Amino acid sequence: MQKLFPEFPATSATDWKDQLTKDLKGEPYEDLIWKNENGFSIQPFYTKEDLKQNYEPAFTHANWEICVHKENISSKEINEQLTADLNRGASSISVNCKDVDLSVALKGIQLNYIQSIFIVDETTATELKKYLEQTYNLNDLNFSLITENFKNEADLKSWNKVISLFETYKNIKTISVDALAFHNQNCLAYYEVAIILSALNEYLQSEIRSSTPFVIKTGVNSDYFLQIAKLRAIRRLWTILRTEYNLKNDLHLIVETTLTNKSVSDKYTNLLRTTVEAMSAVAGGCNELIVTEFDTLFTENKKLSSRMAINQQLILKDESYLDKMADIGCGSYYIESITDAIAAKALETFKHFEKEGGYFKCIEKNIFSNEIKIQSDQRNELYKTSKQLAIGVNKFRNEKEKITLSKQKLEELKHLPLNNAVLNFELENFFN
């Protein structure tokens, strides 16, 4: 067995290219090189020669928590849905605490046995601590706090007060960046990573510190390998930032499947989209994963869709065994190469943000919003011209499917706080 591989001659990148050129029979080799929307080229093949170094795993954990998120419903409904979801197999909960009666919403939820995420501001964080102190020993709890507002220095100062409320508890993570809103505006992968890096740097420059892992919440779309690379690039750049500031904190990634490609028509296709996205989140090293329900834009059967969102993750664990090996992309010629490309482009963009004054100044100057609009408009155009396909929408559409949307529902869909190119195409072509 030891002699098996030496018996085969080594094949260099030049050998592969020469063979491809021969097989193309006069067609230009350059036609096989694809210019990725993130600004770097995708080669037709990759070899060991493309690797810049011997890569260590970007993360070492294999398992992840199945998370369910609740907001914009009554406290009683939150409790009923969380109870049902935990009984179905969820192992983590996420709750936006705004206008929520915690004693009702969390009644019977044993937080000391699960991980949790709470989206709070200074006021709701104080209320949360008061409730938890009455019910638990806070040293027994493991949860992340995500800031509802992080747009200026005043928000940072307010959040510092939240950090001080929980700083003595070893398993309560308080330094967090929520980039999901940027992701759901349909920005490019490298740009999203650069924004995350810039937000993290605001914490570090203000000398806010914690011994617990830093938390990042973001999204993944259906561009499978690219999204794996994006999440790995976040971890790789965090290592650089952590070294620069002489920190030892780990990184805790909360990932949610995107809202930028979900359709109203042929909505069961959304199950395929979210499955691909969930796989990329896991392969990219998420610690907690929220799979959006397939009918999230137009809910008809909440019980079915919420159960399916949990079952998708259970299948990835119990039937696909994706929870048995850490960083399955490590050493992959292709994945490592595009991880490097995204990280390099993001780092360059991050440096540009710093020259503009940093994260808060970029928000104030509308630098993020203006650039993301350009990027999302370009994606909208791809769907309009069918250069980007959405199965069941602009390709292989089920002409027999009849969907009736009320005027109120149409207005709700048109004013969602996101940029969904697939939905935009549907609203323009099918539901006017």
Domain boundaries, the chain: 65-333
Residue 122 CA to residue 117 CA, distance in Å, equals: 15
Report pLDDT digits (tens) over 130-179. 999 999 999 999 999 999 899 999 999 999 999 999 999 999 999 999 99
Report pLDDT digits (tens) over 168-209. 999 999 999 999 999 999 999 999 999 999 999 999 999 888
What's the pTM value of the predicted model, to 2 decimals? Answer: 0.95
Give me the pLDDT at residue 5, please: 67
Residue 45 CA to residue 233 CA, distance in Å, equals: 21
Give me the pLDDT at residue 9, please: 78
Give me the pLDDT at residue 325, please: 92
Of 65-79, 147-161, 225-239, 391-405, which gets the smallest average pLDDT? 391-405
Please tell me which residue, 106 or 399, carries the higher pLDDT value. Answer: 106
Give me the pLDDT at residue 59, please: 96
Give me the pLDDT at residue 1, please: 53
**Rounded average pLDDT over 264-286:** 96
Model confidence band, residue 305 (pLDDT cutoffs 50, 70, 90): very high
Label residue 176 exposed, middle or buried (CB < 10 Å: 0-12, 13-18, 19+).
Answer: buried
Report pLDDT digits (tens) over 30-39. 999 999 999 9
Please tell me which residue, 349 or 5, carries the higher pLDDT value. Answer: 349
For the chain, what percent of residues have pLDDT higher than 90? 88
Give me the pLDDT at residue 86, please: 98
**Is pLDDT of 350 > 70?**
yes
List all residues 6 or more positions away from 89 whose beta carbon is below 8 Å from its beta carbon: 66, 310, 311, 313, 314
Give me the pLDDT at residue 222, please: 96
**Rounded average pLDDT over 199-227:** 94
Label residue 379 exposed, middle or buried (CB < 10 Å: 0-12, 13-18, 19+).
Answer: buried
Give me the pLDDT at residue 240, please: 95
For the chain, what percent of residues have pLDDT higher than 70? 99
List all residues 6 or more positions away from 214 whose beta carbon is below 8 Å from its beta carbon: 173, 175, 176, 177, 200, 203, 238, 249, 250, 251, 252
**Is pLDDT of 300 > 80?**
yes
Is residue 232 within 8 A of residue 269, CB to CB? The reply is no
Give me the pLDDT at residue 207, please: 85
Instruction: For the beta carbon of residue 22, count every other beta carbon within 10 angstroms.
Output: 8
Give me the pLDDT at residue 11, please: 86
Instruction: For the beta carbon of residue 137, count every other beta carbon within 10 angstroms.
Output: 10
Report pLDDT digits (tens) over 381-430. 999 998 888 999 998 998 888 888 888 999 999 999 999 999 999 999 88
SS (H, E, C) the chain: CCCCHHHCCCCCHHHHHHHHHHHHCCCCHHHHCEECCCCCEECCCCCHHHCCCCCCCCCCCCCCEEEEEECCCCHHHHHHHHHHHHHHCCCEEEEECCCCCHHHHCCCCCHHHCEEEEEECHHHHHHHHHHHHHHCCHHHCEEEEEECCCCCHHHHHHHHHHHHHHCCCCCEECCEEECHHHHCCCCCHHHHHHHHHHHHHHHHHCCCCCCCCEEEEEEECCCHHHHHHHHHHHHHHHHHHHHHCCCCCCEEEEEEECCCCCCCCCCCHHHHHHHHHHHHHHHCCCCEEECCCCCCCCCCCHHHHHHHHHHHHHHHHHCCCCCCCCCCCCCCHHHHHHHHHHHHHHHHHHHHHHHCCCHHHHHHCCHHHHHHHHHHHHHHHHHHCCCCCCECCCECCCCCCCCCCCHHHHHHHHCCCCCCHHHHHHHHHCCC
List all residues 6 or more positions away from 45 whose beta carbon is below 8 Å from its beta carbon: 13, 16, 20
Topology of the domain covering 65-333:
TIM Barrel (3.20.20)
**Rounded average pLDDT over 274-278:** 98
